[in-house]
Structure 1
């Protein structure tokens, strides 16, 4: 059985403050990996955190690829009357 991560451990891994992790777990749980509630504290499985981080990095890569593709396309012409130069 793997040792569960605390909010402090996750904060250190993600580069956030401990309090930010706790607040996000309470108010915006969709921003964090799935957690296990133990009494008044939150715990994370290291393997789930790793999978979550991998999926986030793949999603970021896909967004960057789309952004670079759009940047190389020719700009669309605006609609309506042309502006004075």
Structure 2
């Protein structure tokens, strides 16, 4: 373990692109959405180890192929004749 300087709320906010207030709120309401905090006995400050933050960030990297492509949402109501014909042509070409 390296003895690097511990990160403060402001440091973590800068790394994550959030405000210090947001970090404090998330820590009190949903701490699972932040990297694990380093607890020092007798200190009331929120501190993080750089290596814990880096590990946490690596675990939350989302690859492009993990995004699910959603089909276009249909408009409510009856489709136009041109849309219905295009859909039929598409379905026929898929089954051919």
Q: TM-score, normalised by structure 2?
A: 0.62
Inter-partner Cα distance in structure 2 for 1:3 and 1:51: 17
Does residue 28 of the first structure (1) align with residue 35 of the second (2)?
A: no
Greater than 3 Å deviation, 4+ residue runs: none
1:28-70 CA-partner distances (Å, limit 9, x unpaired): 100000002343211000011011111111xx11xx41435x6
Residue of 45, 49, 60 corresponding to 1:56: 60
Aligned-residue RMSD, C-alpha = 1.9
Inter-partner Cα distance in structure 1 for 2:4 and 2:18: 23
The structure whose residues are more often helix, as a share, is: 1
Where relative contact order (Cα < 8 A, 6+ residues apart) is larger, the structure is 1
The structure whose residues are more often strand, as a share, is: 1
Q: Cα distance, 1:84 vs. partner?
A: 5.2
Greater C-alpha Rg:
2
* Unaligned residue ranges in structure 1 (runs of 5+): 76-82
Give the structure 2 partner of residue 14 of structure 1. 16
Distance 1:21 1:65, change over 3 A: same
Q: TM-score, normalised by structure 1?
A: 0.69
Q: Cα distance, 1:26 vs. partner?
A: 1.2
